[in-house]
Structure 1
Amino acid sequence: MLTITQFTSPKLIREILAQRNFAPRKSLGQNFLVDGNILDKIANAAELDPSDRVLEIGPGLGALTAKLLERAGLVVAVEYDRGLYSILQEQFGEAANLRLNHQDFMEFDLGRLSGAATASGTGRWKVVANLPYYITTPAIFKLVESEIAWAAMVFLVQKEVALRMTAEPGGKDYGALTVMLNYYGRVERVAPVPKTVFYPAPQVDSAIVRIRPVADPEHRRLYPYLHRVVQAAFGQRRKTVLNALQSVAGDKEAGGAILESLGIDPGRRGETLDGEEFAALARALRERDSRP
C-alpha cells in the first residue's frame, strides 16, 4: 500500500503511473491532489467518526481514500477509470472497510448503499469527493435528488463552481445550482485550494465546499416544483419571471395570478429572486395542483 508521502509526491506519482503506462486524462479531469494539508482540510470538513459511512466519488489514486479509511467505519468508492481502479485495488485490496466499485458514478445505483449500510452496521452517510469538472453539476443534483438522508457533503470543486454554489441573487454567478443547493441545505466555502497543489496542475484554482442538508419533510415534497420553477427562470435569463412562469403555470394569466398573490413584480428577472421567493412560487404551484 502507498504511504501518504508517496500519495503527495509528484515525482513518485509520475513513477507509479509510468510503471503502469498510465497517463492522466484531461477529458476526465484527472488532476491528483498532492498536498497533505489540503487532504486533511477535506477530511476535517466532513467531521468523520468511526460510525460514519462515506461515499467517495472519483478516488483517483486514493490519497483522499486513505484519509477517509482512517476515520470512517465504511468507505464506498466509485471510480470510472479502469487503470485507476486497478491501482486502487492493488493499494487497498486488504482494507476491510472499503467497498470499491468500477463504474461511472452517473450510472451508479445509490440504492446499493442501503445494502452496504446493513452489512456495515454503521451510522450516517456522508459524501466526500474531489469532483471532476465535467460531472460536477449532474453528480451533485443526483445526490440531492436521491432518497438518502445525507448527513453532510464535502466537495473539492473548481473555484467558479464554488462561487456559483454560494452566490447572492442578482450576480452573474447566481443560477439554478445556487437556488437548488441553498434550498436543500446550508452551503459554505471552507477553504480555497490553489491549482499548484495538483498533479498535473489544472488551469484554474479550486475550493472546498461543504453542504449541511436541512432536515425538513417539506423539502422532499416541494423539490419537484422548485426544480421546474428554477429551470424555467434560468433557462433564458433575459426573460421576465412572468414569461418564465407561464410555461410552468400553464399560461401567462395563471402565472400572473400566482405572482400577484405573492407580491412579486412580474417584470423582474429570475436571477433577482432569492431562495425564499422561489420556494414561495413552488409552494403556490403545489397547492394549486393539490386542489380538488
Structure 2
Amino acid sequence: MSSPNLPPISLYSTPTIIRPKPKPSLPARNSSSSCAPRQRPQTSCTATTNRRNPDDYHTTLKALNSKNRFPKKSLGQHYMLNSAINEELATAANIEEGDVVLEIGPGTGSLTNVLINAGAIVIAIEKDPYMAALVKERFASTNQLKVLQEDFVKCHIRSHMYSLLESMCLSEANTRYAKVVANIPFNISTDVVKQLLPMGDIFSEVVLLLQDETALRLVEAPLRTPEYRPINVFVSFYSDPEYKLKVPRSNFFPQPNVDAAVVTFKLKQAAHYPPVSSTQAFFSMVNSAFNGKRKMLRRSLQHICTPLEIEKALGNVGLPATSRPGELTLNDFVKLHNLIMKV
C-alpha cells in the first residue's frame, strides 16, 4: 500500500492551519431504525443524511487547529492521515450495518467516520477531554455514536458494554457480538490486549493498529527466541490472531519512529478455551516459568511441586526433563499444568 504524499512535519511541532479543498458529497444512504425486534440503526439525519467524506491530511490538521490542540507525546497520540488505512481496519473487522463497535481513542474521528459510514453504532472511549469534546461535536447530528471520556486501561469496560448493549436493546442472546476496531496509542498496546482478549462473551473480534514490532511479536514470535513470552501464550489461549498488513510510519501525524501494522484477533468463547482447571492458576504457572526464562522448568516451577515431579510431568507430555519455558507451545503448557495440578 502506498503512503500519502504528505508535506514534511517535525515531531510534535505546532501544525499549520491548512484550508482543505472542498470535496463533492457522496450518495445518500437510506435506512430505518427500531429497537425491538432489533433493526438496523438509523444512518439518516435524525442520523446522517449523506455519507461523510473520508478524512485526509488536511481534515485532520483542520480538526486539531479548531481546538488549538497538538498531539500529546504523553498520551501516545499519533493521528492517522490516510483514510484508506481506516477503511482497511473496518474491512478487516468485516463491519456491517448494525454492528456495535468499540473504538479506543477516536482522536479527531477519522476512523469513527468510516465506521459510521459503514452503518455501525460506535462506542468511543477517549481519555483526552478535548478530543472527546471534538468528536462529540463532529458527530452531534448522528445517533450512531456514544462517547465516554475515560481512560480505557482504568475503566470497567465490561460493565460499560453490558449497560450500553442493554440500553440499545442489543443484549438478547440471538444478536451479533460487538467488535473492537481501534488505532490505539502504542504505549498501551499490551494493556489493551490483556483487557480485551478474555472478553469473548461480548466481542467476536478485535482489530487493532499496533506498532509493527509489537504486532509481529504477538502473532508470529517463534519458539526458542527472546521474542517468545507469556503474552504469546495468553494471546493464543484467548484468540486466533492474524497479522494483516504493514502500515508505514509516514501515514501518521506526528510521524512516529516506527511503522505500524493491522492485527486481527478472533476471540474464542469460554467453551473453546484450552481445558485447564483454573485460568488464574494456569497463567500464574506460565508467568512463573518465564520469570526464570533461562532456567529449566524443573527449577523455575519447583515452588509448585518438586523437580522430580516436574521432570515426570514433562516426560508424560513428551518433552525432555531439561525443557525451558521458551520451548513449550500453548498446548504443552496446558498439558503440563493439568498434570502438575494432579500431583
TM-score relative to the length of structure 1: 0.89
Partner of 2:214: 161
Query: Is the 1:164–1:177 Cα contact (8 Å) retained in structure 2?
Result: no
Partner of 1:172: 226
Query: Is the 1:192–1:207 Cα contact (8 Å) retained in structure 2?
Result: yes
Partner of 2:30: none
More moved, 231-240 vs 38-47: 231-240
The answer to whether residue 303 in structure 2 is matched with residue 224 in structure 1 is no
| Correspondence for 1:256 among 311, 314, 317 | 311
The answer to whether residue 101 in structure 2 is matched with residue 54 in structure 1 is yes
Query: Is the 1:61–1:87 Cα contact (8 Å) retained in structure 2?
Result: yes
Determine the C-alpha separation between the residues in 1 that align with 2:340 and 2:168: 42
Map 1:143-154 → 2, pairs under 5 A:
143-146=196-199, 148-154=201-207
| Correspondence for 1:267 among 314, 322, 325 | 322
TM-score relative to the length of structure 2: 0.77
Partner of 2:163: 115
Partner of 1:199: 253
Query: Is the 1:54–1:72 Cα contact (8 Å) retained in structure 2?
Result: no
Query: Is the 1:233–1:271 Cα contact (8 Å) retained in structure 2?
Result: no
Share of identical aligned residues, percent? 27
Aligned with 1:217: secondary structure? Answer: helix
Partner of 1:42: 89
The answer to whether residue 191 in structure 2 is matched with residue 138 in structure 1 is yes
More moved, 231-240 vs 83-92: 231-240
Query: Is the 2:243–2:262 Cα contact (8 Å) retained in structure 1?
Result: yes
Query: Is the 1:163–1:173 Cα contact (8 Å) retained in structure 2?
Result: no
* Greater C-alpha Rg: 2
Aligned with 1:111: secondary structure? Answer: helix
Structure 1 145/220 Cα, relative in aligned 2: closer, same or farther at 3 Å? Answer: farther
Determine the C-alpha separation between the residues in 2 that align with 1:12 and 1:147: 35
The answer to whether residue 188 in structure 2 is matched with residue 128 in structure 1 is no
CA shift digits 1:175-233 (9 cap, x unpaired): 11212111222111111100000011100001000011234525287332331122122
Aligned with 1:196: secondary structure? Answer: helix
Query: Is the 2:63–2:108 Cα contact (8 Å) retained in structure 1?
Result: no
Determine the C-alpha separation between the residues in 1 that align with 2:62 and 2:95: 32
Runs of at least 5 residues in structure 1 that lack an aligned partner in the other structure: none
Determine the C-alpha separation between the residues in 1 that align with 2:153 and 2:118: 26
Structure 1 152/263 Cα, relative in aligned 2: closer, same or farther at 3 Å? Answer: same
CA shift digits 1:138-184 (9 cap, x unpaired): 11111123473421110100011111111221233221121211122
More moved, 22-31 vs 116-125: 116-125
CA shift digits 1:22-63 (9 cap, x unpaired): 110112110001111111110000001123211111111111
Amino acid at match of 2:299: N
Aligned with 1:90: secondary structure? Answer: helix
Determine the C-alpha separation between the residues in 1 that align with 2:331 and 2:275: 16
The answer to whether residue 69 in structure 2 is matched with residue 16 in structure 1 is no
Moved >6 Å (runs of 4+) = none
Structure number having the greater helix percentage: 1
Partner of 1:76: 123
Amino acid at match of 1:263: G
Determine the C-alpha separation between the residues in 2 that align with 1:129 and 1:73: 14
Query: Is the 2:282–2:334 Cα contact (8 Å) retained in structure 1?
Result: yes
Structure 1 residue 106: deviation in Å?
1.3
Query: Is the 1:162–1:189 Cα contact (8 Å) retained in structure 2?
Result: yes
Aligned with 1:151: secondary structure? Answer: strand
More moved, 40-49 vs 131-140: 131-140
Query: Is the 2:102–2:180 Cα contact (8 Å) retained in structure 1?
Result: yes
Aligned with 2:197: secondary structure? Answer: helix
Aligned residues: 285
| Correspondence for 1:185 among 219, 231, 239 | 239
Runs of at least 5 residues in structure 2 that lack an aligned partner in the other structure: 1-47, 171-175
Amino acid at match of 1:118: E
